[in-house]
Structure 1
């Protein structure tokens, strides 16, 4: 593992043939990444060259330092709404600081081994905000697709819709024609020639047609954002103050969370395609380093790109060298052909982002979860709507909170506390809740099955279930807790109240208790309060002990017949002397 950190172990037995394969895949992915990098940057509210810088620097660093052999890193569509919101609210310079802080957060996640926590984010939350992001991206490109003029990008979804409708009369049919050409080529190319990068071909052909047949009739990158410089990005350390850190910490956490999730998901997809296994914590290190370094050169936040990673694998990549080559290819294109990129119409870029949005929308899964009409459906819908109409930060926070509340509610409802008695018709006298009836329920021994985690959400139900049914004050309360995997201090406190209340007139026995609840009870002193002699591994042993605590006089004439001994006790055939002998024998066994 140490060798891998110094990049030697990852290239063991690396051959020229491997390099040739990586070179081909790196060239192809690099060409694909160029239009995407510019499009993502523009949609995020920054200049297109910043997307190119991110593709170069983050792409190389993620491949060098990451935990997946096939990961391709760079700007992605998932970041667009959050980055645009940060730029609109705080400005581009503060976006760089937020990206830098996000890199530190990702790095710290690895140091404290917290990377796996990202995997516990509920699926409805991820589907909800991913689909919300897709809708935001798609709608954000309508103005460029239609060639609308005078449209100002707003922070909120409904404001952007108002802008579009208020400027609908400025439609440019040259832009629509250009966009349709680009869109058709993007859609048809994978079907006709799967190995040819459709977005690049669509971009080039639509740009050439626009330049030849109707120059100056459509808005281009150059006319809107200025020429793209064909120079290397300049190093500049952002001015970081404590006030800015506090102000940008929340969006930085969202960037880190989203980046970590997407990079790990991309790595998992790569594992499935190659039958390999990535290193999750190391992947977060790579993402952290890339996001700390990239802002120093003007780049925006980056993460693992699922589509580009899949393309990298399909085109024959065998090592991280393909990702490094992909960054170098983008760098060479920047140095040699950047001025030509200034002539690209915005209408040519719009379909690229619209297709990206469609592919990331997870429409089928979204509708499937929605149709279940469960708590997950509510989490999904709320997260989606908040992502679209407010922002991703609020959506993720509220979605996680709602998912947690619903989870706690479901877990609380799953705790079962029900009376049980031995089923005489079963050969092993199995404990059964269905045999308890008004005519068969021992007045002196109450046995309860307790199943599920006994925590704060279930504690009140647990208490009420028992206290409401033992008002007749039986002599013995036996709690079968073999199916209680966890108990918190709230559950322990409610159980202690029951023990204290019941101990005034009887005794509490517990059978089959698991290690976590037992250890907690020892720490709080409840174990000693109940008494070690009142804990049993098996219910049968507990029942035998409970029978020694009976008032045999109350058994005379009883017709409940809950236990095998009940018929003899009812007839007085088992007296106190025999019960005492039974108790002595039990005590001799060490119980």
Structure 2
């Protein structure tokens, strides 16, 4: 091995080691802790209080148990905080994940969720190691908002069965589609149960709306849930409750992996992994823009979220993601380091160890109310109006993503939304490509009637290639074409190939092609694809227009003299 090869291999090894270290926790993660720890403690307690009803509610709504939601919030909350790439991200069960888990539970059973969580966690972890964290930047804003709107609608509808009957659950007898399930639940509503459930839900929502008006720090959801729980214990009623909760965390264990069922679990795991990656990266990006909390590392964030879902699966929990709402509460409450998210998990663990009994008596209708109002608050009217009033293509991508999310599948909705937005973006970009025929400047010459100066503006790529080809090769009654390329922007291989075909087509007709102003950044591509080689002579490449025009005029004069003789 030569010294150069050894040095190159050593350099690659050093870069790989540095990248591996960047994906792991380090003392730098807590560099500012001496300055921020008080705010982190306050924020952690605040988020823990806010997260309790959400963790319970999402656990129930997914078709699992309230315990599964709590376990996920605790285990995944700690692991994602320590290993993730954001200083302020708060992770746990989310409404978007519930939307995906409901059909999984309905078709494969609750026991499959831990295995799906484990498999999805491994996939997300691998995605982080492969540096796929920046992929979320390719999702347009209207698609993200359409995705959010669709999730909000589904979360709201998933709570309807909890308000109309104590005997049904969203993932039980109902369709896996939230719209159909809500309609089925209403059709079989228990007339004696509905007034009690709606009354409990109304009381919780009223507390959540009014409490912040008194003071922003007042946890309206907990006050409402506590009030409804006390009333339900005192007054005889038919309200269904959470039921018994363990007073400790379950022991970690590998979920049962049946090779025969692994094929059925792989596709759900891929869906869960894609959602976990997208939602976590979006949440981390939003958090980084809310306050000066430091940059986030998207690749490390995927690694952390993958570890979090693996840990949650080992404790019989659910797949975890970064939670946008809880992360926002964390930042607004003063959280600036990972300590806040760790404290949030410790607060939830305290509820398990100390208050499992009281928590088990919470009516399910109260949790449904929390999630319903949370879903409503996910949608911002001003944002929806601004997208709908922006451009037709963005409005269509927004509406289409929302409709597909509600009616079909979340990941498919994102893919369709991105494809839709990408199609219109390419169409608009291709419209920026223009072909202009110019008149020679200065004193006109008799030869100019046989010369066409064609200026190519904007990007020249596959979406505009055919249009450019037709415009240039459609010129008639000329002997020389000067292609001005100094204003070309992006050029891809298809665009370069079309230029080659333009030159070859015109030369076959006896039309001489001169090229002027090839940019240095395009020259290598033009040589590789054959644009320059297709010219009749190497002297037909020019740096300025006057030289190209003079050569074109002399060429026309030579042709005229040849014909006259």
TM over 0.5: yes
Check whether the contact 2:497–2:529 (CA below 8 A) recurs between aligned residues.
no
CA deviation string 1:480-525 (max 9, x = no partner):
2223333333333332222112223132122222345432221233
Specify the alignment match of 2:112 in structure 1.
94
Specify the alignment match of 2:230 in structure 1.
208
Residue 498 of structure 2 corresponds to residue 477 of structure 1: no
Residue 30 of structure 2 corresponds to residue 11 of structure 1: yes
Quote the offset at 1:39 in angstroms.
0.5
Quote the offset at 1:424 in angstroms.
5.5
Bigger shift: residues 157-166 or 173-182: 157-166
Q: Per the alignment, do residues 7 and 372 of structure 1 end up closer, same or farther by CA in structure 2, a change over 3 Å counting?
A: closer
Residue 480 of structure 2 corresponds to residue 487 of structure 1: no
Structure 1 unmatched runs, 5+: 430-438, 556-591
Distance 2:453 2:197 in 1: 77
Specify the alignment match of 2:174 in structure 1.
153
Check whether the contact 1:131–1:360 (CA below 8 A) recurs between aligned residues.
yes
Q: 1:356 aligns with which of 354, 370, 374?
A: 374
Specify the alignment match of 2:91 in structure 1.
73
CA deviation string 1:103-128 (max 9, x = no partner):
23322333222211111112222111
* Mapping of residues 359-438 of structure 1, within 5 Å: 359-372=377-390, 374-422=392-440
TM-score, normalised with respect to structure 1: 0.84
Check whether the contact 1:418–1:465 (CA below 8 A) recurs between aligned residues.
no
Quote the offset at 1:242 in angstroms.
6.6
Structure 2 unmatched runs, 5+: 1-17
CA deviation string 1:219-269 (max 9, x = no partner):
1112xxxx1112212322234467655544444343333323332332233
Quote the offset at 1:393 in angstroms.
3.0
Quote the offset at 1:441 in angstroms.
10
Specify the alignment match of 2:275 in structure 1.
258
Distance 2:263 2:450 in 1: 63
Q: Per the alignment, do residues 57 and 387 of structure 1 end up closer, same or farther by CA in structure 2, a change over 3 Å counting?
A: same
Quote the offset at 1:440 in angstroms.
11
Specify the alignment match of 2:524 in structure 1.
519
CA deviation string 1:450-496 (max 9, x = no partner):
1233222211111111122x222x22211122233333333333322
Q: Per the alignment, do residues 34 and 406 of structure 1 end up closer, same or farther by CA in structure 2, a change over 3 Å counting?
A: same
Specify the alignment match of 1:190 in structure 2.
212
Q: 1:548 aligns with which of 551, 554, 564?
A: 554
Secondary structure in 1 aligned to 2:555? coil
TM-score, normalised with respect to structure 2: 0.87
Q: 1:43 aligns with which of 61, 66, 88?
A: 61
Distance 1:328 1:150 in 2: 33
Q: Per the alignment, do residues 20 and 403 of structure 1 end up closer, same or farther by CA in structure 2, a change over 3 Å counting?
A: closer
Distance 1:59 1:200 in 2: 20
Specify the alignment match of 1:293 in structure 2.
311
Specify the alignment match of 1:85 in structure 2.
103
Secondary structure in 2 aligned to 1:527? coil
Instruction: Point out the structure with max Rg over C-alpha.
Output: 1
Q: Per the alignment, do residues 484 and 94 of structure 1 end up closer, same or farther by CA in structure 2, a change over 3 Å counting?
A: farther
Distance 2:390 2:446 in 1: 41
Secondary structure in 1 aligned to 2:240? coil
Check whether the contact 1:450–1:484 (CA below 8 A) recurs between aligned residues.
yes
Check whether the contact 1:485–1:514 (CA below 8 A) recurs between aligned residues.
no
